[in-house]
Amino acid sequence: MVFNAPGANVNAVKELVLAGLFLGSRGIKLGIDHVTTLHDVYDAGELHKTLETQKKFCR
């Protein structure tokens, strides 16, 4: 924890901590990693179908 940080540094640390907590609690990193593995799907309909069936793995 940062207790004696002057000025805007306190706000920056607060925002970074909150962003890290939100990313960790919502599984956003897992979702991003999963979507980057789908680079070989070019058809929008197929991509939508694949994402809907695999959505449960990113929770």
pLDDT of residue 5: 60
Nearest to 30 by CA among 3, 48, 57: 57
Per-residue pLDDT of the chain (59 residues; tens, 9 = 90+): 556 666 777 788 888 899 888 888 877 788 788 888 888 888 889 888 888 888 776 66
pLDDT of residue 3: 61
CA torsion sign for 20, 23, 27, 32 is negative
Q: How far is it, in rounded angstroms, from Cα 32 to Cα 27?
A: 9
pLDDT of residue 10: 79
Predicted TM-score (pTM) of this structure = 0.45
pLDDT of residue 58: 62
Q: How far is it, in rounded angstroms, from Cα 18 to Cα 34?
A: 23
pLDDT of residue 9: 79
